Structure 1
Amino acid sequence: MCAITIIHNGYSFMNNGEMFANCTCTLIKGTHNIIIDTMTAWDSEVILRGLRKENIHPDQIDYVVSTHGHSDHIGNNNLFLKATHIVGFSISHKDKFYIHPFENGEEYIINDYVKVIPTPGHTLSDVTVLVTSEDRKVHAIAGICCCLIVHQDGSENPVLQRKNRLMIANMANWIIPGHGPMFKVTPEIRESLNRQASIDINK
């Protein structure tokens, strides 16, 4: 059984021609304690305060997952020195790196409730964390893959990003995006993404 706590809701906006962004930081407590996306390097106290509220010490975190390697998603990974780190397609502990074929579409199983799947698009090594509850509801903690889910945003491969957005929307009941509050996946969202996928196929 897993409990999901959002430590910080992410955001992304333009103001006077300048971009401001920070990611959502999420804690999963259960068989393994997992923190997903550790914000910017200036946000350590935000994370530590959130962990204290959950009676979790950084040394009790088993996995750190950074959904991709941008600076607002990896800024406090060094708080968790006993954890295994997954940064995009890279898995490591200290100086030991583990080979896992994310690039072949293979998921990484953490436990019976949590797995990490490849969802490239925004970067070519993006991942998404899927958490399944006992009632079989699925939460997708999706980094950038499903940020602004029906709109275009910065992406190394927009077509692939839209494809993976649709895949996640078809798998999940709820999405925790990288830059915004959690939302329920509605039939309207799935229909919109299916329409966009059809446009991509017919181009």
Structure 2
Amino acid sequence: MSDVVFIIGFNYDSNCYLINDNVLVDTGAGQNKEYLFSKLRENGVEPENIELIVNTHCHFDHIGGNHFFPNAKIAVHRLDAISIRNEDTLGTSMSAFDGVDNSRVDVELEEGDKIGDFEVIHTPGHTAGGICLWDGENLISGDTIFAGGGVGRMDIGGDYNDMKNSVERLTKLDVVNIYPGHGPIVEKNGKDHIKLSYSFL
């Protein structure tokens, strides 16, 4: 299985995850560059060597640091790519676009696409184009699933029925570890947390 390096969010930042030594999942709100860079370097990765940024969805606290990585390609689901390119205040937040080039999308992701050992799962609900990444053991869940049975809010470009369907899909996976967009990670019993999330919907 893949190694996932957990970079806990600082202030308004989402959590970020380093996979494959050159892929960064989410970049935070764009307000703590030195913190993020220091965490990458602690794990032996120079920021300029990041080749791909994968955004789990289009909200400002996940895409705001994209411009820190001008050499990297930016990948996001095709539906959230629309919000980013349009600098859409419903789907995201204008503060994200204070960073030059934060409306750039290079790769439009779809269900089933591969990123290293991970497969893209389209999990709308928090946003129309929200995704999770799944490698058969680890689930990088963005703001779809949180530790302790939480799910992402559905009032900023989201949809309750979409969220319920997405979480139901995830209950069918044998998830061991969950790496959510905010808060603590879940180790060993991820499937139980997903089932709990579904019971709350």
User: What TM-score comes out, normalization by structure 1 length?
Assistant: 0.73
Q: Which amino acid aligns with 2:182?
A: H
Q: 1:123 to 1:98 in 2, by over 3 A?
A: same
After superposition, residues 119-158 of structure 1 pair within 5 angstroms as: 119-132=123-136, 138-147=137-146, 150-151=149-150, 153-155=152-154, 156-158=158-160
Higher percent of residues as strand: 1
In structure 2, what is the Cα distance between the partners aligned to 1:56 and 1:187?
31
In structure 1, what is the Cα distance between the partners aligned to 2:198 and 2:65?
36
Residue 128 of structure 1 deviates from its aligned partner by 1.1
The root-mean-square deviation of aligned C-alpha atoms, in Å, is 3.0
Identity %: 25
Q: Which amino acid aligns with 1:183?
A: V
Aligned position for 1:165: 167
After superposition, residues 1-203 of structure 1 pair within 5 angstroms as: 2-9=2-9, 21-29=12-20, 33-89=22-78, 90=81, 97-98=106-107, 102=110, 106-111=111-116, 113-132=117-136, 138-147=137-146, 150-151=149-150, 153-155=152-154, 156-171=158-173, 172-184=175-187, 185=189, 188-193=192-197, 195=199
Aligned position for 1:200: none
* Structure 1 consecutive aligned stretches of length 4 or more whose deviation exceeds 6 Å: none
Count of aligned residue pairs for this structure pair: 176
Conserved in 2, the CA contact under 8 Å of 1:68 and 1:127?
Answer: yes
- Structure 2: gaps spanning 5 or more residues: 86-102
Conserved in 2, the CA contact under 8 Å of 1:9 and 1:181?
Answer: no
User: What TM-score comes out, normalization by structure 2 length?
Assistant: 0.73
In structure 1, what is the Cα distance between the partners aligned to 2:3 and 2:114?
17
Give the number of the structure whose alpha-carbon radius of gyration is greater: 1
Conserved in 2, the CA contact under 8 Å of 1:149 and 1:165?
Answer: no
3-state secondary structure, aligned to 1:142: strand
Q: Which amino acid aligns with 2:142?
A: G
